[in-house]
Amino acid sequence: MKRKDDPRHKKRQELVGLLFSTSFRRNHNIRGTGTYREDFRKIISDIKQIDTMIAKAAPEFPVEKINKIDLAILRLAVYELLIEKANPEKVIIDEAIELGKEFAGDTSPSFINGVLGKILMLYGKRSTSKNN
Amino acid sequence: MENEVRAKIIDLFIENFGVEKKDIASSMELLKDLNLSLLEIADFLVKVENTFHVQIPQSEGEKFLTLDDVINYVSDHGNFT
């Protein structure tokens, strides 16, 4: 059973908060991002690529129409799955679903699960994964 | 309509941040005067979107400095039917 005070879970919570903060800030000039500044900077630098992948996986929901918390969670998960590739896919998807339960609406976990499943289908499963 | 929007947005702000009406003015800057974090601003703007059935694009949201800016945008773009 995953613990809520797991430092990796806390890190993901922080990063989702930071990504959500940029919902109304196109220039992403977030000051004081603290411990996770570097991770946040990396995600933001790949945000266009990440959003393109999300848009292809959920064509019925244009990115700008996706609930902003769901979008923040998806952006982090897609970054972890396809760019960072530092954790097993199952861990990343489970964490994203958990964050959806914590922060977003009732329908978010299934939406997040569906989009991430589609993304893996479209962009291929990784053959190897490093453990955290 | 703008007065209704103004009253509703200020009420939403008070409810959201637990401040007193006497302590806020719509001309105050969200970051500097009202001392909100970007996370708090984003959370508030999502509530505004949901309340007024309006979508605030990133390109517009980043221009909002004060509550007046939010009120003006919603007055012009909100769905009041």
Interval A87-118: pLDDT, tens? 999 999 999 999 999 988 788 899 999 999 99
CB contact at 8 A, A114 and A45:
no
Q: Do B42 and A24 touch (CB under 8 A)?
A: yes
- How far B13 CA sits from the closest chain A CA (Å)? 17
Task: For residue B3, give the amino acid letter.
Answer: N
Predicted confidence pLDDT, tens digits, chain B (81 residues): 678 899 999 999 999 999 999 999 999 999 899 999 888 999 999 999 999 999 998 888 889 999 999 999 999 987 766
Rounded Cα distance between B57 and B74, Å, is 12
3-state class percentages of chain A: helix first, strand second, coil last, to nearest 5: 70, 0, 30
Predicted complex: ipTM over 0.90: no
Chain B positions touching A20 (Cβ under 8 A) are 39, 42-43
Q: Do A64 and B41 touch (CB under 8 A)?
A: no
